[in-house]
């Protein structure tokens, strides 16, 4: 049985390195939606999003010889995608924002505990007010706090994966996520 599902990422990487360019297409198919969803947290315009996602996969393809397999392929790919999105925004003289987050488009199962509490029947904020408040708080956070929060709450990655993507210790990731949640929680409670 050698179907796409049974082939691991590492096997596909090995096949690409052995000259099978179609194996990379399988990796693109496997991760294109997740990478696009991640980049959409930074880049709002659908046309730009498509360009940035394509650029991220091109960069990954070119950098594939540097992939040593020390981490999972998807964490390596996510790191390239995040950096590509941030570089894209910087090249257009924009701060890598979190103001482009579309909270009403996010599956509630992917959001943090603060958002679950607000979405409960006793929550008094409307979705629009919540979205605006969250965007304002995220936009005011330092870039590393924004990125950690986005990777955890919207992409659902583990602390270990985020540490690899952000190239920092797991404890630092935990601290960044805690601080971002704390800031969001404080702002939302002020509004309630």
Report pLDDT digits (tens) over 46-63.
889 999 999 999 999 999
Q: The domain containing residue 175 runs over which residues?
A: 100-192
Q: Are both 116 and 178 inside the same structural domain?
A: yes
The 10 Å CB-count burial string (b at 16+, else e) for 166-180 is: beeeeebbeebbebb
Of the CA atoms within 13 Å of residue 32, those in its CB half-sphere come to 11
Q: At 6, is the pLDDT very low, low, confident or very high (cuts 50, 70, 90)?
A: low
Q: At 173, is the pLDDT very low, low, confident or very high (cuts 50, 70, 90)?
A: very high
Q: What is the pLDDT of residue 176?
A: 92
Whole-angstrom distance, CA of residue 143 vs CA of residue 151:
12
pLDDT higher than 50, residue 101: no
Last residue of a domain, one of 64, 96, 128: 96
Whole-angstrom distance, CA of residue 83 vs CA of residue 139:
18
Angle between helices 170-191 and 127-140 (to 10 degrees): 130
- pTM comes to 0.65
Q: Are both 192 and 120 inside the same structural domain?
A: yes
Q: Are both 35 and 117 inside the same structural domain?
A: no
What is the residue whose two structure tokens read 């929550």? 123
């Amino acid at each position: 049985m050698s179907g796409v599902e049974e082939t691991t990422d590492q096997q596909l990487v090995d096949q690409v390195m052995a000259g099978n360019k179609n194996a990379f297409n399988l990796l693109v198919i496997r991760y294109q939606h997740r990478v696009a969803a991640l980049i959409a947290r930074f880049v709002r315009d659908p046309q730009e999003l498509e360009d940035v996602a394509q650029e991220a996969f091109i960069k990954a393809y070119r950098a594939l010889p540097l992939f040593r397999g020390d981490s999972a392929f998807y964490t390596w790919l996510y790191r390239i995608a995040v950096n590509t999105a941030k570089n894209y925004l910087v090249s257009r003289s924009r701060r890598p924002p979190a103001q482009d987050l579309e909270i009403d488009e996010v599956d509630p199962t992917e959001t943090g505990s603060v958002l679950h509490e607000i979405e409960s029947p006793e929550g008094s904020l409307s979705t629009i007010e919540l979205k605006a408040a969250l965007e304002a708080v995220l936009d005011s956070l330092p870039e590393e706090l924004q990125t950690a929060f986005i990777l955890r709450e919207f992409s659902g990655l583990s602390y270990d994966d985020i540490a690899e993507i952000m190239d920092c210790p797991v404890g630092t990731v935990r601290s960044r996520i805690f601080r971002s949640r704390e800031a969001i929680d404080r702002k939302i409670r002020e509004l309630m």
